[in-house]
Amino acid sequence: MTLEEAVEYALSEEEPATPAPTTSGQASLDEPLLTLTRREREVAELISQGLTNRRIAEELFLSERTVHRHVSSILKKLGAHSREEVGTKMTDRPTPETD
């Protein structure tokens, strides 16, 4: 990992958002989205708009490799198998608001 990649990685990693209290029926549906970091939610939103990793990298001033890591993490956390599924999950459920 280059110094630039290490700095990008360190600066882009954040703690997951604190889950907001929800009703028991809604909690299980929203839980995966609550595990995404703020940066992952930003990337997921751009995925849902149909942007490629290269365009996401340009929008967020990240390397494509960093975006690729975020996309992999998002797919795993949401249990999605494709970018289209990420888009569906992002539009179906409201995202948590943070400071």
User: pLDDT at position 34, please?
Assistant: 82
From the list 52, 34, 45, the residue with the least C-alpha distance to 90 is 45
User: pLDDT at position 13, please?
Assistant: 53
User: pLDDT at position 55, please?
Assistant: 97
Mean pLDDT over residues 1-13, rounded?
Answer: 65
Q: Is residue 98 part of a domain?
A: no
Q: What is the CATH number of the domain that holds 84?
A: 1.10.10.10
The larger pLDDT score, comparing residue 78 to residue 25, is at: 78
User: pLDDT at position 5, please?
Assistant: 64
Q: How many domains does the chain have?
A: 1
Quote the domain boundaries for residue 47: 3-9+29-92
pLDDT tens column, 14-70: 544 444 454 544 444 556 678 899 999 999 999 999 999 999 999 999 999 999 999
Helix (H) or strand (E) holding 60: helix 53-60
Q: Is residue 68 part of a domain?
A: yes
Q: Is residue 20 part of a domain?
A: no
Q: Is residue 80 part of a domain?
A: yes
Are residues 38 and 14 in contact, defined by beta-carbon separation less than 8 angstroms? yes
Q: Is residue 35 part of a domain?
A: yes
Q: Is residue 14 part of a domain?
A: no
Q: Is residue 86 part of a domain?
A: yes
